[in-house]
Amino acid sequence: MSVKKVAVIMGSDSDFPVVSAAVKRLKSFSIPVEVHVMSAHRTPQAASEFSSGAAANGFGVIIAAAGKAAHLAGVLAANTTLPVIGIPVKSTTLDGLDALLATVQMPSGIPVATVAIDGADNAAILAAQILALSDETLAVQLSELKQQMAEGVAQKDVAIQAKVQEL
């Protein structure tokens, strides 16, 4: 059984510096990823058609990144039963708070999981965790990532203890 693909959809090409972290993380897990620009407001039909056919086209999760009004994740979620993860993108107007609120305030029946403002890495990890429910290899990779993070914290603690001793 092959791992399902993850779609990373951004509302504007200016969101690419943010979503590139998700793409890198997904690739590090050998998860097939497709990246597209679609706008909830300028190309709503394309966004609707993409998400309507996503499951049939081999996708398992959709990640949607948008700033300002940030309706993209909701538009995609309205047209699919796949999990949709929203990444609110920081803008110059309200520092991303507008995008965060637009992404988390979905009506009943149209859920969107939402990560932190510019939280693309966590979006990719969450997508991997969803796919790992049916992929043991991916589950092992995620466990190894958690172990690496724990080891990194332990190393930092040792380094801090040495600094404290020098005081």
pLDDT digits (tens, 9 = 90+) for 48-106: 999 999 999 999 999 999 999 899 999 999 999 999 999 999 988 799 999 999 999 99
CA–CA separation, 156 and 162 (whole Å): 10
Asked whether residue 1 carries a pLDDT value surpassing 80, the answer given is no
Q: Are the C-beta atoms of 95 and 137 separated by less than 8 Å?
A: no
Domains by residue range for the chain, with CATH: 5-134 (3.40.50.1970)
pLDDT digits (tens, 9 = 90+) for 32-51: 999 999 999 999 999 999 99
**What pLDDT is stored for residue 80 in this prediction?**
98
Q: What is the mean pLDDT of residues 122-131?
A: 98
User: Looking at the chain, which runs of residues are DSSP E strands?
Assistant: 5-10, 33-37, 59-67, 84-89, 113-114
Average pLDDT over all residues of the chain: 96
> pLDDT above 90 covers what percent of the chain?
96
C-alpha angle 139/106/13, rounded to 5°?
Answer: 70
- Give me the residues paired with residue 84 across strands: 62
Asked whether residue 116 carries a pLDDT value surpassing 90, the answer given is yes
**What pLDDT is stored for residue 93 in this prediction?**
79
